Amino acid sequence: MALALFAAALFVVGHAALLPFGRVTLPGPGFFPFALGVVLALFALAILYETLRDKADGKAVFVGHRDVLITLAALVGVAAAFEQADSYLTLGVFAAVLLLFIARAALWRVALGATLGMVAVWLVFRLALGVRLPAGEFWQQAIDFIAAMLPFGRS
């Protein structure tokens, strides 16, 4: 598994290197994929080191494990809904699903964690980087649906 992660990291780093990096104040499209690929490569090497060092101690986690399947299903949901629905809503629901079903946190902690996580995402992308994440059509469709349900409607 560590070798597969390392190969994926090299793939990401290699393709990100083909894109412009930009500047520190205004990162280009290759900056974050490159940085994340480097971090993934470092984690993969750490996993490989631990695997080779402690061969008999580790307990295998199978791909069919409940937590792995929940995480994969949630990631597929994020990929499908990220641009169609509001990106903050999508990431918030993703965080909430992981906190609820993987961490098995209390509902108030799930709500607080997902909300604070989305505030952090907004702070990083909107304020620090000046980038607006995709809004999608979710809010406009929700407003239109609610307006259609009201007796006085929208004019």
Q: Per-residue pLDDT tens for 101-129?
A: 999 999 999 999 999 999 999 898 888 87
* DSSP-assigned letter for residue 127: I
Measured CA to CA, the distance from residue 107 to residue 96 in angstroms comes to: 9
Closest listed residue to residue 102, CA positions, set 60, 69, 57: 69
The pTM score is 0.63
Task: Rounding to the nearest 10 degrees, give the CA dihedral for residues 54, 57, 62, 63.
Answer: -30
Q: Per-residue pLDDT tens for 23-73?
A: 777 788 888 889 899 999 999 999 888 888 876 655 665 667 788 889 889
Domain ranges (residues) in the chain: 1-60, 62-155
Number of C-beta neighbours around residue 85 at 10 A? 21
